[in-house]
Structures are given as C-alpha cells and as structure tokens.
Amino acid sequence: MKFIDLDRQYSAYKEEIDGALSRVLESGQFILGPVVEELEKVLADFVGVPYAVGVSSGTDGLLLALMAYGVGPGDEVITTPFTFIATAEVIALLGAVPVFVDIEPDTCNMSVEALQKEVKARMAKGAPLKGIIAVSLYGQCSDMEEISNIAGEYGLFVIEDGCQSFGATYRGRRSCGICGLGVTSFFPSKPLGCYGDGGMVFTSDHEIFERIRMLRVHGQARRYRHEFLGINGRLDALQAGVILAKFPHFKEEVAKRQEVAALYNRLLQEHLPEVRTPVVRDDRTSVYAQYTVRVPAERRDEIQSGMKEKGIPTAIHYPLPLHKQPVFRAHAHLRLPEAEMAASEVLSLPMHPFLEPHEQEEIVVAMKECF
Ligand SMILES: *Cc1c(COP(=O)(O)O)cnc(C)c1O
C-alpha cells in the first residue's frame, strides 16, 4: 500500500498528461510562455481573484510574497510553529524574525486568540511587526477573515500559506483568494500536484502582482533592465502542462478525498474511540492534503511501527514544532503547549482519491490490532 498513490492517478489520466507534455515539447517554449499563462488564468478564475503568478515552488512563492511586501532585516512576521519548515524559513532567509504563536488544539491552525494577544503586545511596544503568514494546515483554511481583521486593524499584510489547501472553501470563498495574498504548491504529493516542483501566488492587489512578476525573473521590468533584486522563481512550462491536464479532474478528486475522509471518520469513530478524528469547522471544507488523527503520545511510535510491519505506511506531520528545530534554536525557550502536544500525538494515514473502501477497512483493522 502507498501513502499517496500517484501511479494510480497517472494511469487514470495518462493520455491527457502525455498529450500535454508532448504539446509543450513540440512548442519549444519551456520557460514561462502560453501554457504557464493559460494555467495562471484558469487557476485565478477557480480561486476567484484577478491575478496569479506561476512560480518555481510553494517555498519560492512565499519568499516572493514576502519580498513583494518589502520584508527585510529586523522585521517581524507572525506565523505558526506547527507547519512545514518553509513557512518560517523564508521569513528568516530575508533577515526577518519569525514570531511563533500557538495553534488551536482541534484544527491545528493558528489560534486567532493567541494571534490577537501577540499582535497587541508587539504593537504596544513598537515592535517592527510587518505581517502574518497563516497556514491552512492539512487542507483546511485557517480562520482567514478573523486573521485579516486583526491585520487590518494594525496595517499588517496577511499571506495565506495554502500549500496544502488548494481547492478548500472558507465561508463560500476559496483558499488562496480570501486574504491579500495566497500561495500554493504543486509538489507531487499535494492535492493538486505536478511531476517536479511548482507553485502559484494569487492576489487581488495589482501592485503586488506586478512586483511578484518582476521578482520571479530577477527583478526584471523588461529584458536586461532590473528594478529590484529578485530570484529565478519561474514555473516551468512542462509542469504547467501537467497541472492543466490534471485540473479538469480536480473537483472530482477533492470530492473523493472528502468521501475517503468521511469513511475514515465513520470507521474510526465506530472501532477506535481512542483515536481523535480530524475536526473541520462548519464554515469551511477541507481538501484533506493529509488525513491526520490524534493518538495518545505514549502509544504513537508502537502504533506506527506496528502498522509499518503490516505494510501500511503512515507519516507524522510534524514531529517537531518549528520553535524546537535546531535551526530556530533562538526560539527554543518558547512554550507553545498546543503545538508541542500536537507534534507528539498526530499521525497521518494513507490519503489519496484512489484509495478504496476495502483498503481503508484494512488500515483501520490494522490500527485497531496495533492498539
Ligand atoms: C509543501 C509546503 C510548502 C512548500 O512547498 P514546496 O512547493 O515544496 O516548496 C510550504 N508550506 C506548507 C504548509 C507546505 O505543506
């Protein structure tokens, strides 16, 4: 059994994907060009914003966004400690300081209460706080409107790290289109993945859009005329072709992921009440980039290794909150109990749209045996 079965997906859409790749190969246009532009338009429409910029990865999308907002040495950006390293890494790479606030115990997204307190305290003492990166973890949006309201009150920018939540909805709007700027990733294992690295930035702000377009090609306004220091941050045409070929199936895949999650919920609640199933708020939907449950911390290792012996792969997203990472040792004194507890209890089960009900039953039976 696979944790994410990309082979089944490729078999299902092989002709469309191969066709899209051939068209790019025959066009001879590999860097940006019409296929990337078409994808930007299609996905901007889907998200419901006027502007999208194809970028080289989710990480580079976040970096470009911070650069566009002018983040630099000494600035502070608030984020969550319970995410993939990239979210905070890009802040620190620009010489700015990530400020970690704790998470909600059930959704594992940033706590609005903790955010409000931190922003208030920092602004009161004149801290160089510039913005917020909220992460929509496991496929469910953070409380983007509440976060945007707090940001608006203090003139901060808000970025949604939607690398796991592309396609999710929040109060009827789509992830990456709710606050000032959203970033997603097309890393192969993400809900909408390509066959390499890729990502996209979404915004309604024309000025930010123009700046990110320049920053992704070395700050270039026109050929060999460089206005800013930028990076090589482009989405390549082959990867854009792959996404364009997969995208017509995306809504159906999201619905399948939600069915898979619903069956897991039912099976686990019936057979394994010790396991806490994921919580999705009433005003949103999840695309289940991960199906992540909570198990007692002291049992997790044996459950994971027991399942591995039975041929069932699981994963831990994430075993160490960012303030406990060696690279962020300056933050090691922080106490963020919810993030620390989540890191010790979470366990992700196989999740992809091609998972069969009998496989899910097998997974739950194996898990019960391991308990
Ligand atoms: C995957 C991921 C990223 C980074 O995306 P890449 O395309 O791999 O660079 C950033 N943030 C979160 C929350 C992610 O899950």
Reported as a single tens digit per residue, the pLDDT across 137-146 is: 999 999 999 9
pLDDT of residue 112: 98
pLDDT digits (tens, 9 = 90+) for 341-355: 999 999 999 999 999
Q: List, in order, residues 6 or more apart from 37 with CB less than 8 Å away.
A: none
DSSP secondary structure letters along 2-45: -SS-HHHHHHHHHHHHHHHHHHHHHHT--BSSHHHHHHHHHHHH
pLDDT of residue 102: 98
Residue with CA at minimum distance from ligand 1 atom 6: 58
Output the ligand 1 site: residues, CB below 6 A.
57-59, 83-84, 86-87, 135, 161, 163-164, 185, 187, 197, 199
pLDDT of residue 9: 97
Query: How far, in Å, is the centroid of ligand 1 from the Cα of 11?
Result: 25
Arithmetic mean of pLDDT, 70-86: 98
Nearest to 57 by CA among 207, 197, 154: 197
Query: How far, in Å, is the centroid of ligand 1 from the Cα of 332?
Result: 23
Arithmetic mean of pLDDT, 69-83: 98
Nearest atom of ligand 1 to the alpha carbon of 197? 7
Largest CA distance in the chain: 64
The count of other CB atoms within 10 Å of the CB of residue 195 is 17
Query: How far, in Å, is the centroid of ligand 1 from the Cα of 290?
Result: 13
Q: What share of the chain in percent tops pLDDT 70? A: 100
Q: Exposed, middle or buried by CB within 10 Å (0-12, 13-18, 19+), for 189? A: middle
Nearest atom of ligand 1 to the alpha carbon of 86? 10
Query: How far, in Å, is the centroid of ligand 1 from the Cα of 85?
Result: 8
Query: How far, in Å, is the centroid of ligand 1 from the Cα of 194?
Result: 13
pLDDT of residue 93: 98
Arithmetic mean of pLDDT, 106-114: 98
Query: How far, in Å, is the centroid of ligand 1 from the Cα of 185?
Result: 6
Nearest to 284 by CA among 201, 368, 162: 162
pLDDT of residue 159: 98
pLDDT of residue 137: 98
pLDDT digits (tens, 9 = 90+) for 210-267: 999 999 999 999 999 999 999 999 999 999 999 999 999 999 999 999 999 999 999 9
Query: How far, in Å, is the centroid of ligand 1 from the Cα of 59?
Result: 6
pTM above 0.95, yes or no: yes
pLDDT of residue 365: 97
Nearest to 201 by CA among 186, 222, 221: 186
Arithmetic mean of pLDDT, 56-62: 98
- What is the average pLDDT score of the chain? 97
Which two tokens mark 77? 């950006």
pLDDT of residue 348: 98
Arithmetic mean of pLDDT, 72-89: 98
pLDDT of residue 315: 98
**Pocket test residue of 159, 175, 187, 292 for ligand 1, highest count of atoms within 8 A of CB:** 187
Query: How far, in Å, is the centroid of ligand 1 from the Cα of 83?
Result: 9
Q: What share of the chain in percent tops pLDDT 90? A: 99
**Pocket test residue of 87, 175, 286 for ligand 1, highest count of atoms within 8 A of CB:** 87
Nearest atom of ligand 1 to the alpha carbon of 137? 13
CA angle 320–169–234, rounded 5-degree value: 70
Q: What is the 3-state composition of the chain as percent helix, strand, coil, each rounded to the nearest 5?
A: 45, 15, 35
